[in-house]
Amino acid sequence: MRFTLDVDLPIVERSDWDGDAARERILRWAGYDDAETDEQRDAALDRAARLFLFRRDEAIAKNDLVAPCGDIVDGEPKLVTSGMRYALAAVNGARGGIDAPESLLSRARNALERLLSEAEGEEKTIYEAKHITVKQLADGRIVARGYAIVWDSTDLEGERFARDVDLGEQLLGMKTYPLLYEHGMNEVIGAEVIGRVVKTERDDIGLLIEAELERHARYLELVRALAERNALGLSTGAVAHLVRREGNVIKTWPVVEVSLTPTPAEPKTLGVALAREIAQKSGASPEAFARVAEDEGANADEQQTDAQQTQQERSETTMIATQTHEIKTFGDFVRAVKTGEAKALGTTVGAQGGYLVPETFVADLLRTVAEESIVLPRAFVVNAGGTIRQPVIDISRGGNDTLAWYGGVKFEWLAEGATIPETEPAFAQYTLRGIPLGGLTRVSNRLFDTPGFDATIRQMLTEAIRGYLDYWFIRGDGVGKPLGVLNAPAAVSLNRATANQFKPEDAAKMLARHKRIGANSTAWLIHPSVIPQLTSFAVGNMPVWAPDWRGGVAGTLMGYPVIITEYASELGSRGDVMLIDFGAYAVQLANDIEIAMSEHAYFQNDQTAIRVIVYTDGQPRVQTKAKLIGSNYEVSPFVILN
């Protein structure tokens, strides 16, 4: 049994949904006919399975399809809210439940809950306190709403804001504020903009703001970590030498940024250099900040205390930069993490602590990973974090007189004066979610001081990251991990001619059902246990496999390169031979690698534990097989030998 629901289909609201009637309509739409051949019925069931939670692979019959979730509406496949509710109830045990592995039930449950939440516009509250609320909206956006300033509330220094405080809108010319973390003074995140203030409003309580966070896994984890500690607040940062006070009442506070901070959330004055850096990222006018710089000297005496505080903060930042300058290699960085010279990420990764690898080393590590990878050099790669939704052409509309590759768009011969028939391309969508992939290894403490440490640690990490990424991009089941090509809903699965053997006719059948999508991105993936079968490959006296015995065995098979890999299945199992075009596979690989270390876990062994986390995901870019024009003959970029 496998999960087959197409979660990117359109959703319609219906209360009078009949599951049995919907099943028959879906089967008719898919072209299922009991009188057809096994291959034709199998293809029709695969097409219909997009609207069902699961498909059994035990037989080729109607009851292969389990738990309908949609219907054919105006001739198009669509998910139906009431159908998904019935299916979710069955997943949770209603009416006898569904006999399926818990991993499949969990995947179905998560998918249905998310789809219903989006359809019904539900919001999820992440954190709520007296003056701030953080919510995750139905479309996945994270929004913080609360008071960045509260009138007449005395802070830890005994100061309070006047209700008519001048916030510097005209002076600085800022039309919106960036959202930072800890006023841009966090040692690792620094002045990175983690979001944007989209709305400000003065009311009887204070300055009410609404901000939207960037969809970056690191920032979202930061918010969740503070929320779990019940320690999330909002604060504003102002240009230090322009602040005006009357006694303990703040009368002028030229705001340059709003920050998420650990509570208590105190307002902060910023030095001109840091304020200018922040403002330039926010669209403040250069003229306004030229005036700010000119006014700095004139107000030096009045703001001496603030200036000393700001200078101390900038000195600390300079010291951090100086330390970072000494880290010339990745090995130096790992040593700095071990000795504590690198600054901790703190609340970004919760109580366990962690360190972000500097960007220069990340790029180098990921480049090495990609060069040695099976999947990455051939796949469509997105280097970003958070949730990414990508549209793709729906190739399910081929057959008859329509080419599948253009989403149903048709060109026809026209008689004189005839009207060109209107066709609209159809698009599907896949989602990448930046799932954390973590690993833990142990390194001898003596190794840290050896001359070859940099090369050794780089090789160990890059090979491990590359190996596990390839494994899951090929074999992942999509439950809390990538959906690999072996389990792609669009895959064509073919039975072999003889059990436990791989013959030339098997390869020919696979090639006949393969559709190349990308350029130079197709390869055979073959398990090492299949090599003895390959050595006798021939059609008549003509060898079919062309190995390169001197260069490393693999060579080519029927024109495509052969990759011998343990990530394929053992001889005789489904997936021992695969013909895959990775141009039809999308990979998300965020430009963030997180490292944490502990000398305590293996203290008795004189070893240091190293934990590495990479944010990644992978999904097929096509969700269905495609029919060749003028036929029901189905092809796919993913062809698997059963």
- 328: exposed, middle or buried (C-beta count within 10 Å: 0-12, 13-18, 19+)? exposed
Task: Count how many domains the chain has.
Answer: 4
- 264 and 206 housed in the same domain: yes
pLDDT (0 to 100) of residue 369? 79
Q: What is the reported pLDDT for 353?
A: 43
Q: What percent of the chain has pLDDT over 70?
A: 73
If asked whether residues 17 and 89 sit together in one domain, one would say: yes
DSSP 19-39: HHHHHHHHHHHHT--TTS-HH
Q: How far apart are CA 258 and CA 268, in angstroms?
A: 10
247: left (phi over 0), alpha (psi -120 to 50) or beta: left
Q: Tell me, yes or no, whether 390 and 271 share the same domain.
A: no
DSSP string, 544-558: SEEEETTTTEEEEET
> What is the Cα–Cα distance from 127 to 124, expressed in whole angstroms?
9
pLDDT at 286: 52
Residue predicted with more confidence, 572 or 267:
572
User: Between 625 and 600, whose confidence is greater?
Assistant: 625
Q: Is residue 347 part of a domain?
A: no
Answer yes or no: is 318 within a domain: yes
44-48, 81-85, 134-138 — which one is most confidently predicted on average?
A: 44-48
Residue 487 lies in a domain: no
Q: What is the mean pLDDT of residues 550-576?
A: 84
Q: DSSP secondary structure string, 242-307?
A: G-EEETTEEEE--EEEEEEEESS---EEE-HHHHHHHHHTTT--HHHHHHHHHHHHHTTTTTHHHH
Q: What is the pLDDT of residues 217-252, one digit of tens each?
A: 456 666 666 665 556 778 888 877 788 889 888 999
169 CB-side CA count, 13 A = 6
Q: Span 506-511, mean pLDDT?
A: 92
For residues 565 and 593, state if they share a domain.
Answer: no
pLDDT single digits (tens) 312-365: 433 333 222 223 334 556 666 666 666 555 443 332 333 334 455 665 566 667
Q: How confident is the model at residue 313, as a pLDDT?
A: 38
The separation between the first and the last C-alpha atoms of the chain, rounded to the nearest angstrom, is 14
pTM: 0.50
pLDDT of residue 227: 61
Q: Is the pLDDT of residue 302 over 50?
A: no
Whether 216 maps to a domain, the answer reads yes
The tens digit of pLDDT for each residue in 73-122 reads 888 999 998 888 888 888 877 666 788 888 888 888 888 887 887 776 65
Is the per-residue pLDDT at 26 higher than 90? yes
**Domain termination residue (choose one: 120, 145, 164):** 120
Mean pLDDT of the chain: 77
Q: Which residues of 168-177 are buried (b: 16+ CB within 10 A; e: fewer)?
A: beebbbbeeb
Query: Quick check: is 220 in a domain?
Result: yes
Residue 317 domain flag: yes
Residues 93 and 139 in one domain: no
- Between 427 and 344, the more confident residue is 427
Count of other CB atoms within 10 angstroms of residue 559: 8
Report the distance separating Cα 39 and Cα 54, nearest Å: 19
| pLDDT digits 0-9 by tens, 139-188 | 667 788 888 888 877 765 567 888 899 988 877 777 778 888 877 776 66
Distance CA 25, CA 108 (A): 23
Average pLDDT, integer, range 444-465: 77
Mean pLDDT of 576-597: 86
CATH number for the domain spanning 436: value is 3.30.2400
Looking at the structure, tell me whether residues 237 and 380 fall in a common domain: no
pLDDT value, residue 275:
55
Q: Are 332 and 454 in contact (CB under 8 A)?
A: yes
- Between these two residues, 55 and 176, which has the higher pLDDT value? 55
One domain for residues 184 and 245: yes
pLDDT of residue 106: 83
219 lies in the same domain as 258: yes
Does 617 have pLDDT greater than 80? yes
Residue 597, domain member (yes or no): yes
β-pairing, 492-494 with 638-641? parallel
CB-count exposure of residue 503 (10 Å: 0-12, 13-18, 19+): middle
Q: Which domain holds residue 466?
A: 359-411+425-482+589-602+604-619
Q: Above 60 in pLDDT, residue 303?
A: no
State both tokens at 358: 């500097």
Query: What local confidence, expressed as pLDDT, does residue 188 receive?
Result: 60
pLDDT of 569? 93
Same domain, yes or no: 475 and 497:
no
Local confidence band at 299 (pLDDT 50, 70, 90 cut-offs): very low
Residues 521 and 432 grouped into a single domain: no
Domain boundary, last residue among 120, 153, 175: 120
- Do 165 and 303 share a domain, yes or no? yes
* 331 inside domain: no
Domain boundary among 104, 120, 136: 120
> What was the pLDDT predicted at 276?
55
Residue 68 has pLDDT above 90, yes or no: yes
Return the ∠ at Cα 503 (arms to 501 and 504), rounded to 5°.
170
Cα distance between residue 432 and residue 454, in whole Å: 33
Shared domain for 497 and 578, answered yes or no, is: yes
Out of 116-120, 285-289, 321-325, 618-622, least confident range: 321-325
pLDDT at 576: 94
